[in-house]
Structure 1
Amino acid sequence: MLPGTIAKTVHWAFGQDIAVLPRIFDDGITLAVMERRLDSALTLAVRAQLCHPRGLEWQWRGAPGPAMQEDLARRLPAPEAGEALVEDIGTIAEAMAYLFSTETIGIRLRTLEGAMCPRFHVDNLPVRLVSTYAGPASEWLPEHAVNRDGLGAPHPHKPDIVADPGTIQQLGVGDLALLKGGGWVGNETRGLVHRSPQPAPGERRLLLALDPG
């Protein structure tokens, strides 16, 4: 967490209970994070997928439920060890559908060996949930540390996006983070600025992303 000296600019909410996630509906909040640690069964399931030589890139768009979980289980590199992971993603998807009153969820689960979006940016959609099961988790910037004139496609005449590199924040492995984007009505110029970190050589990330609707 950031020092209390900048409390007046806080636009994030962190907590260890799922009740923190609805804070994303607050006008001043652009990041709501349920902090959690993966239990041993889930950790072993994740490790089994990452130890398999085959990578994973699974997508689903539709209702969460048994069909979604069955499709995911079939696509896992190590399905015989993936039960805890499938159950966890099923629970998260159902919670997301309930929170945003939708029957349709877009889900992506993928392994990454490089930074998917290495440049700080804002998602052009209302909201996205991200969770890193393994590897370095997503990085984000508090608003006071952002120079928004630098966002968008890189250009030699654009200023640096990061006004103060010492303020770069990072989520934890296992955290469930709701990121409000520029597509959220009333938040068009205040979407959370974030990026994918660069894994160390030989390291793999397992990243989950969910979009409601």
Structure 2
Amino acid sequence: MKKILLVACTLFVSAFASAQNAEKAKALLDEVYNKVKSYDNIYVDFKYSLNNAEANVNTETRGDVTLQGDKYLFNYLGAQQLYDGRMVYNIVPENEEVIIDTQSNDENTITPSKMLTFYKEGHTYSWDILQNVQGRKIQFVKLVPIDTNTEIKSILLGIDVETKHIYKLIETGKNGTTTTITVNSFKTDQPLSETLFTFDEEKYKDNGYYIIRN
């Protein structure tokens, strides 16, 4: 009987501690979300790396994105993606083409406009390690997708304890691929051109670009 009570107490304490950790992790993510939503616009310069030891894949590059509400301008791998709130414009200078499409309604797709807020729904949370990165305290929160059909196994989200800004995202796929995004620069409420999120079709046509509408 004593052994049964001891096991029951141990399980109860473990479950209680786990629930507390989940609540603590959610509270921190709520702070991050509210901070992101408080800004008029955000500029993020980041490093992107992808690693899969089994497939012998190890790549690294950089990119940047400017966000204002749902609108964004995303520069990556020599191409540019613009979302004006209605349509997505994929501008590829190498091919001299622009592909125009409607914004994806797939809730499982993390678009640039969701990259700082995607964690708000669809995951379970747990408190993870605290790291010191060049004098900055980075608290990691582990996210596990609720949808078991997703290709994502887990996500570690590193948050600057002082600023409540996202510093690092480490996504582990079920196929063994690890994707890491590290923020090099995070700027807020910058002066933006009124036409930054406006697509000038005539300008690209005049420069010989082929316009494709999906």
User: Normalised by the size of structure 1, how large is the TM-score?
Assistant: 0.24
Larger strand proportion of the pair: 2
- Of structures 1 and 2, the one scoring higher in RCO (CA 8 A, sep 6+) is 1
Which has more radius of gyration?
2
